[in-house]
Amino acid sequence: MRLNHRGPAPSNRNDLKTIKSLLPFVWQFKWRVVAALACLVAAKVASVILPLYLKQLVDALSVPPTALALPVAALAGYGFARLATSVFGELRDALFARVTQGSIRRIAGQLFQHLFSLSLRFHMQRQTGGLSRDIERGTKGIGFLLNFMVFNILPTLLEIGMVAAILLWRYDLAFAAVTLGTIACYVAFTLLVTERRMVYRRSMNDLDSKANTKAIDALINYETVKYFGNEGWEVDRYDRNLGKWVDSAVKNQVSLNFLNMGQGVIITTGITLLLWLSASGVVRQTMSVGDVVLVSAYLTQLYAPLNFLGFVYREIKHALADMERMFGLLEQGQEVADRPGARRLKAGQAGVEFEHVDFGYEPRRQILFDVSFRIPPGGTLAVVGASGAGKSTLSRLMFRFYDVDRGAVKINGTDIRDLTQASLRQHIGIVPQDTVLFNDTILYNIAYGNPAASQDEIVQAAKAARIHDFVMGLPDGYQTQVGERGLKLSGGEKQRVAIARTLLKNPPILILDEATSALDTRTERAIQEELGQIAKDRTTLIIAHRLSTVVDADEIIVLDHGRVLEAGSHRELMQRGGRYAQMWALQQAGDEQ
């Protein structure tokens, strides 16, 4: 089963599903949401009342000078309504700020946690640059959607309804009909054109993610690019992707211009018709100057949000498209999950058993064939064989990064599929062949094995890994930054940090996957002695290519193309004269040369 979040965006996107995915996070702040909506309604009611007070002022001041009097009530009402519009609007913003930011925080946190729950297969196939861009755009889209849905779409629709009701109540049906007809045409045109424009936006997002992925991939592999002198090739590849993005961006802009022109025509037509109707009423003496001011004021109030509504709707659609990928990641199924009722592993010592295990990363390519062996508690088993024999796959199955296709991996007689993954991994420590460090200090990277460890415990682990003296010789000591993926340290130094990190974790099961492959001979011998001492009290699986590092193992198995060819101690295997003896002879001859 292939799990890959990349690929073209779905053509039948369900915006309602995206919004439903967002609502539970927003509703966690329900009292703030309710209070903000109450302030929104109060602000809009005050806004709609403003032109009514303005009409009273104009009519009161339009009488003959002999009858002129100061309209105190109308002035006070107008001032109160304007103040209420401002105050309730600011209160709404203040109340909703935590809703928006809190929702983004909780979604981002849940997504980050979910990504760590996905299988190793997913993370080996993902593209880091594109994934990070999808998350970045998705979280920004949440903020935009919440703010503009609550602060623009809802109040605009509320205001349109109230204005139409007032026009219908005070004037002819034509006023409300023209207002609602203009809005209906505007919304229909915007919906139609925006839906067609989304093809270009989706294409821009896809091409943007691909270009970003290739750029980050090239920067991560900076040394390889320089080794082969392929700077021009990488720049050209990046530029080609940007060229495709530019083509989509131009089409997107042209379609936006067409949309704006159409919206302008519709709004202008509606405004002209309403002004013509109100002016005709004044000429026929069925309407006062105050009525013209009232209609004009409502037109002014509606024009700005309606004109902005097009932009808001477009951006909301864009935000939904951006959120689509992010919520798609949350829906990504777990290939390896805890079974219902899985129990925690609690063991001071642990025996490991592989029982007739078959496994393949893909159905068409099987890696392990009927592999069986047992490591008793406190015992040491070494696995040797040529590259590609399936040695490192054994450690991945022990960590349960994948589930076996047939057979079982057991710890203390219990199938690891019946244990919680967290407790299982707490009991296993590994020193991998390819050590990758965090872009932080040496102290941080060693302490990662046990974040609760004290400074003394970290130093003791570093001493056991024979790296303490090296660290103390650095200008910044344990505060030395190791660079991205530990590039500021040599291969041997990184591997010793990895050994110290695993020692600090202090697990009952230890996996050494070519643990000393990057070390010089003298350092390797010193660390082998330390590892030998450490392994005495632990169940240890050694994965090795260099046979001289496993001669003291309790048992050695020879793995060839995923099958166990031989098993026994070093002496027993040498006496048999089989594959192990041949490998030993070849390596000894190579060392002599």
- Predicted confidence (pLDDT) per residue in 28-50, tens digit: 888 888 888 888 888 888 888 87
- Pick the most confident of 116-120, 212-216, 389-393: 389-393
Q: How confident is the model at residue 348 (pLDDT cuts 50, 70, 90)?
A: confident
Q: Under a CB-based contact definition with an 8 Å cutoff, are residues 91 and 70 in contact?
A: no
What is the per-residue pLDDT for 214? 79
Mean predicted confidence (pLDDT) in 190-212: 77
Compute the distance between CA of residue 47 and CA of residue 302 in angstroms, rounded to an integer: 11
Choosing among 3.30.565.10, 3.40.1500.10, 3.40.50.10470, 1.20.1560.10, the CATH entry for 16-330 is 1.20.1560.10
pLDDT surpasses 60 at 3: no
What is the number of helices (H) and of strands (E) in the chain? 19, 10
Q: Are strands 428-431 and 509-513 parallel, antiparallel or unpaired?
A: parallel
* pLDDT above 70: percentage of residues in the chain: 89
Helix (H, G, I), strand (E, B) or coil at 427: coil
What values do phi and psi take at 487, rounded to 5?
-70, -20
Name 150's Cβ contacts closer than 8 Å, sequence gap at least 6.
36, 37, 40, 96
Return the higher-pLDDT residue of 12 and 242.
Answer: 242
Domain borders along the chain are 16-330, 352-592
| Interval 440-452: pLDDT, tens | 999 999 998 888 8
Q: How confident is the model at residue 12 (pLDDT cuts 50, 70, 90)?
A: very low
pLDDT surpasses 70 at 60: no
Mean pLDDT of the chain: 81
Q: Kindly report the number of other CB atoms within 10 A of residue 231's CB atom.
A: 12
Least confident interval from 6-15, 308-317, 377-386, 426-435: 6-15
What is the per-residue pLDDT for 556? 93
What is the per-residue pLDDT for 8? 37
Q: How confident is the model at residue 518 (pLDDT cuts 50, 70, 90)?
A: low
Asked if the domains 16-330 and 352-592 are classified in one and the same CATH topology, the answer is: no
What is the per-residue pLDDT for 526? 66
Helix (H, G, I), strand (E, B) or coil at 518: coil
Mean predicted confidence (pLDDT) in 549-567: 89
What is the per-residue pLDDT for 127? 62
pLDDT surpasses 60 at 67: no
Chain-centroid distance, C-alpha 491 = 31
Compute the distance between CA of residue 212 and CA of residue 216 in angstroms, rounded to an integer: 6
Cα angle: 89, vertex 92, 98; to 5 degrees: 145
Compute the distance between CA of residue 224 and CA of residue 276 in angstroms, rounded to an integer: 72
Q: What is the enclosing helix (H) or strand (E) of 195?
A: helix 173-220
Least confident interval from 296-310, 352-366, 472-486: 296-310
Compute the distance between CA of residue 466 and CA of residue 54 in angstroms, rounded to an integer: 84
What is the per-residue pLDDT for 129? 61
Return the higher-pLDDT residue of 386 and 375.
Answer: 375
**Token pair for residue 232?**
């021009």
Q: Are strands 555-560 and 563-568 parallel, antiparallel or unpaired?
A: antiparallel
Across 376-411, where does the E strand assignment appear?
Answer: 380-384, 406-411
Q: How confident is the model at residue 10 (pLDDT cuts 50, 70, 90)?
A: very low
What is the per-residue pLDDT for 11? 41
pLDDT surpasses 70 at 592: no
pLDDT surpasses 70 at 520: no
What is the per-residue pLDDT for 128? 63
Phi-psi region of 477 (alpha: psi -120 to 50; beta: other; left: phi over 0): left
Domain 352-592, CATH class in plain words = alpha beta
Q: Under a CB-based contact definition with an 8 Å cutoff, are residues 358 and 366 in contact?
A: yes
Is this model's pTM higher than 0.95 or not?
A: no
Compute the distance between CA of residue 279 and CA of residue 338 in angstroms, rounded to an integer: 74
590 by Cβ neighbours in 10 Å (0-12 / 13-18 / 19+) ranks as exposed
Q: Under a CB-based contact definition with an 8 Å cutoff, are residues 466 and 530 in contact?
A: yes
Mean predicted confidence (pLDDT) in 251-268: 83
476-507 in b/e form (b: 16+ CB < 10 A) is eebebebeeebeebeebbbbbbbbbbbbbbbb
Q: Taking the alpha carbons of 204, 208, 211, 214 in that order, is the dihedral positive or negative?
A: negative
pLDDT surpasses 90 at 112: no
What is the per-residue pLDDT for 374? 93
